Copies of this chain bind each other. A is one copy, B any other.
Amino acid sequence: MRDFRHDLSGLALNTATLGHNMEGAGRGWSPERTIEACARRGIGGIVFWRREIEGRAAAIGAHARAAGVRVVGLCRAPFLVGPLAFRSEGEVRDDFYRAIDQTAELGGDILTIVVGGVQPGTKGVGESLGLVGQYVADAANRAASVGVRLALEPLHPVYGGDRSCLVTTRDALDLCERIGADNLGIAIDVYHVWWDTDLPRQLARAGGRILGFHLCDWLAHTADVLLDRGMMGDGVADLVAIRAAVEQAGYQGYCEVEIFSANNWWKRDPAEVLDVMIERFRTVC
């Protein structure tokens, strides 16, 4: 298991952690300011959201490279199915392609996919997962042509209805195997998988398919499943055990901190959040 106590090169910031997405609140740093704050602290990588880089992807990517911060990837492809997806298949596909192209413009390696919930008019996750498979198989070709890898992220089962019919590492790997594209893998986020006693077995099966590893924590008393994630160490997830299993499977990529926290971390000074994040990464992950 890698030792990060004195080395932050394996740490990446997902900009959501600084509350970028409190739209209209007038808070949050610009991409450039965030890049510089990461560079100054020795944070190795950064992951942006599409809304932040819209129309400026190439310039922001160049800024990061010049600062010595690796653009790890982009969040995220559109919902492919479910009640929150675009209405038409054409719109879904076009926006999926657009996200792939933006990832490439940014100079990022990985586009994360949150698949969307249960397709209206159907029951259970089966049919929806089938549709997801079709979209992803198609997009994997497009992504390969521009050097982008796709990471299917299973979300916590609480999002099963509206945001992700893909809720287990097992199902994500099944989908990868069914599609069989070389540039397709999974992202493991401790928030979504911490409860799953089948996780070690699945990770062992995943091997090189693990393209991303996300850190935060699950608070014992979660007030809001969307916007009340905990800082590493403040919750009940066994972060050390999960990282050990992920690395045992061969993963040597970034540990990406992604914390949505409307009433705690997003209310703090971003500089403080970064400093706490670093301290926790060194000591409890």
Contacts and interface: CB of A to CB of B under 8 A. Distances in A.
A162 B198 CA distance: 20
Given A126-B197, A194-B160, A219-B161, A118 B225 contact: no
Interface string A121-142: 0111110010000000000000
A95 interface: no
A168 B194 contact: no
B117 A236 contact: yes
Interface string A211-224: 00000001111100
Interface in A140-180: 156-158, 160-162, 165, 167-168, 170-171
B218 A161 contact: yes
Indicate how many identical chains form the complex. Answer: 2
Contact of A239 (B123, B161, B240): B123
A197 B194 CA distance: 18
Identify whether the interface residues of A are mostly helix, strand, loop, or mixed: loop
Nearest to A83: B220
A124 B161 contact: no
A219 to B, nearest CB: 7
Contacts of A4: none
Interface string A73-84: 000000000110
A8 B79 CA distance: 41
A118 B236 contact: yes
Given A157-B157, A158-B158, A124 B221 contact: no
Interface of A: 82-83, 117-118, 120, 122-126, 129, 156-158, 160-162, 165, 167-168, 170-171, 194-198, 218-222, 225, 235-241
Given A161-B235, A170-B198, 15 more contacts: A83-B220, A118-B220, A118-B236, A120-B220, A124-B194, A125-B195, A157-B157, A160-B218, A160-B236, A161-B218, A161-B222, A161-B236, A162-B221, A165-B195, A168-B197
7 contacts: A118-B236, A122-B236, A123-B236, A126-B238, A156-B158, A161-B236, A167-B195
